Structure 1
């Protein structure tokens, strides 16, 4: 009781302290360490009450701001400022006067800036900066922006930029000597210079390049000694010919473990994958692979991927070639054109624990389809054309949850097999190991509820080891049907 009262008093104290710095306007709310002034027509930065109280985040996005005047943040101890999704064109040099030593992160994405504000150069402790999707071209980047990035280069760890007005790679990036994460979120450049990442080749861990007009994966990548994650997505001019082997030297990119090549106009498994033995997570989502043929088997057999996404790849069947991926534990085949699972579709995939096949016209699963999926734990069949619960799940003894379509499953006494299966595969608490999500088409009920309440009344149902009522707590589907 005393602990509960103490927590209430503590929260009240925090609210009182935060309220002391709230501006005199009903357009802002103050909760603990967050000041939220977003989503309103502010006209300008509100006048904050000076305070030493630490504020983690100041939200000023979607506030229709057009300019940031001098000393806009003076007197408040704020770490992260979110000014994204406004119409800011003017940013005075003294905008951060009085806050130079407290601001750690600044988000200015989705504005109307044409230059990098010189005021940013006064931030002595800034670690994260996002100026993406502002019409800042290469000339502006390398003129006024050069001095700004030089001033903050020793502290900046994360930088985001990019816009379709950028036709050349900015040279000012060379000043970012401690950079760990770089996000390039747009650009009209077709190539990158070999020294594109000079200055942070030995510090960069995460790189995202998307929505550009690059015609090939840059050779400059091979200089990123410690790169761990590469997201190279939505670069539609790449194609199969743009995946260059020299860009992925196995002797250099030996730390790369997370690779995405989403929506890059690929039609085959890239050959470069066989040089990337360290990659554990791979996504080829959004590429029209159609069929992964036998030519891909040698490539696939050489990689150690554990997490593979072939989401939205126009596949009409489970690619037989991926059976060569002996370490695969997570497989996403959602949003394809797969109609059936046949007996041998998952051969040699015994380590798979998570299988997602949602959003497919799937209407048949062979009773033997999961014969080798002994370690399967999660199965997602949501938004498919299935009308029956596949008996194949009986071959996966570790299965914990199955997600089925809503309002499609035929629920009759024929489901007695599933009730018996669940009652003989229980947890230590005596409850069924297997959880079923989905709703019936033939009766207003969730499948869980139907198994628990209706199957025992079936004439041919023989009670074996009935589960306790404590095991059934209803489901969200029950609420929608009552």
Structure 2
């Protein structure tokens, strides 16, 4: 109590002397023109009380401040405060009552274990609040009711295991919520109807194991859902029901034994899907059925993935970016696996187990970026086309793994001879032999015609004379006669009627 009274006395003195006597600690940087003070890594254990009272931005990151005391009340013009990476254990009630203009408050990575619905009284204009990396365990009722304009709330990396159904009451404008890396065992579904404006939700790195039906009921405007590392083993058929506006879904680093085709098929507006680091071994035909608007697919780090069936993406014709990386068992793709993706622009096949690639792999004309690096490629004439494709599209640096003579050499720098495409190969030899034979035969024909040209000329003249003679004879036989002049042998003969014996 005595310490608090002393601080109030100091505040009063500073107020009396005004800003002309403002003092900037040696470990801080103070700009009175921009009204910004930065005391990052200043080795401070209390909040300075002699700063310009008109400052609007105060950064106190990486210090040893243990509490928000009365000194803070002196800076009523603050719009931005960063107290992250300090030693804050608790925040007294109404500590920010004087910061009526504060827009952003960062309290992340401290040691705060509890807050109440009076902690943030006065922060009527606050839009961003970060409490990430503290020791919070429980979110009681109406905890943030005094923050009507809050748009982004970060509660990640705490120890939260219970959330009251009304904890988010009053946050009608909240757009972004982080609840990742806590100790939640179930999705806090009862809280969601109070967050009608929520567009982005991060709830990964918890211990859900299962997503029940209608797990996100009430989040009709949700656009981004991150469930990375949530420990999911099973997803109910209707878990994503109601997410009519979802555009981005992250399901990486779970324990799914197969792609939840049916469960995600209702997300017709989904544009981006990340589903790597799971336990499925195959991508079957139409595995992403229903996702007709999918534009980006990322399957990275699926350690059990061995096969991508032809037709796996047959319904996903709008895919522009396809990432299949760090799948250590994926060594083969059928011809034309991605050939029916007319909009494919970026293909990333990095760090898998491929030793070669078929030229018919994709529809190449629209492809802009190709990355096949860090695969154990066997460089041979079969990959000469890939070398040219990498050069044309400024592709990634691709090193050979085999044969030993080409190990660690860049594919783009190899000559056709080094790749075994020398001109004395069997196929090349056959083609050259065929062309040479045709040229020789044509040459012999020309020589024969020249040598016996007189005979050919005489034969041609005889043929033309005979043809003209035949034409003259035809004209003579085709003279026109009158009916009286027609010879008897030309007139049509009357048919003789046979008289039966009985008439005789």
Do structure 1's residue 240 and structure 2's residue 210 form an aligned pair?
yes
Superposition TM-score, scaled by structure 2 size: 0.69
Do structure 1's residue 278 and structure 2's residue 252 form an aligned pair?
no
**Structure 1 stretch 278-287 or stretch 452-461: which is displaced more?**
452-461
Paired residue for 1:190, among 146, 157, 161? 161
| Inter-CA distance 378–172: structure 2 relative to 1 (3 Å threshold) | same
CA distance in 1, matches of 2:39, 2:213: 42
8 Å CA contact 2:270, 2:293 repeated in 1 = yes
1:299 Cα deviation after fit: 4.6
| Inter-CA distance 389–326: structure 2 relative to 1 (3 Å threshold) | same
The secondary structure found in structure 1 opposite 2:121 is helix
CA distance in 2, matches of 1:416, 1:119: 69
The secondary structure found in structure 2 opposite 1:448 is helix
Do structure 1's residue 315 and structure 2's residue 280 form an aligned pair?
yes
Paired residue for 2:105, among 104, 118, 129? 129
Paired residue for 1:94, among 49, 71, 77? 71
1:339 Cα deviation after fit: 2.3
Paired residue for 1:46, among 26, 44, 64? 26
1:287 Cα deviation after fit: 1.1
CA distance in 1, matches of 2:35, 2:395: 43
8 Å CA contact 1:269, 1:299 repeated in 2 = no
Structural mapping, 1:240-279, within 5 Å: 240=210, 243=212, 245=214, 248-249=216-217, 252-270=218-236, 271-279=238-246
CA distance in 2, matches of 1:185, 1:407: 36
Do structure 1's residue 387 and structure 2's residue 351 form an aligned pair?
no
Corresponding residue for residue 440 of structure 1: 400
Paired residue for 1:228, among 199, 215, 219? 199
RMSD (Å) for aligned C-alpha atoms: 3.4
1:204 Cα deviation after fit: 0.7
CA distance in 2, matches of 1:333, 1:100: 50
1:108 Cα deviation after fit: 2.4
Corresponding residue for residue 405 of structure 1: 373
8 Å CA contact 2:137, 2:162 repeated in 1 = no
CA distance in 2, matches of 1:129, 1:460: 73
Superposition TM-score, scaled by structure 1 size: 0.71
Structural mapping, 1:259-408, within 5 Å: 259-270=225-236, 271-292=238-259, 296-297=261-262, 299-318=264-283, 320=285, 321-337=287-303, 338-361=305-328, 362-406=330-374, 408=376
CA distance in 2, matches of 1:282, 1:221: 18
The secondary structure found in structure 2 opposite 1:222 is helix
The secondary structure found in structure 2 opposite 1:233 is coil
The secondary structure found in structure 2 opposite 1:324 is coil
CA distance in 2, matches of 1:383, 1:66: 47
* Aligned pairs, number: 393
Paired residue for 1:178, among 149, 167, 172? 149
* Alignment gaps of 5+ in structure 1: 1-22, 25-44, 423-430, 463-482
8 Å CA contact 1:306, 1:328 repeated in 2 = yes
Do structure 1's residue 215 and structure 2's residue 192 form an aligned pair?
no
**Structure 1 stretch 281-290 or stretch 298-307: which is displaced more?**
298-307
8 Å CA contact 1:411, 1:450 repeated in 2 = no
Corresponding residue for residue 20 of structure 1: none
The one-character-per-residue Cα deviations of 1:129-165 (angstroms, maximum 9, x if unpaired) are: 1223433233xx22xx71x51111x110011225334
CA distance in 2, matches of 1:49, 1:371: 59
**Structure 1 stretch 128-137 or stretch 439-448: which is displaced more?**
439-448
1:302 Cα deviation after fit: 4.8
**Structure 1 stretch 367-376 or stretch 307-316: which is displaced more?**
367-376
* Alignment gaps of 5+ in structure 2: 1-22, 429-504
CA distance in 2, matches of 1:175, 1:78: 22
1:420 Cα deviation after fit: 5.9
| Inter-CA distance 319–353: structure 2 relative to 1 (3 Å threshold) | same
| Inter-CA distance 289–302: structure 2 relative to 1 (3 Å threshold) | same
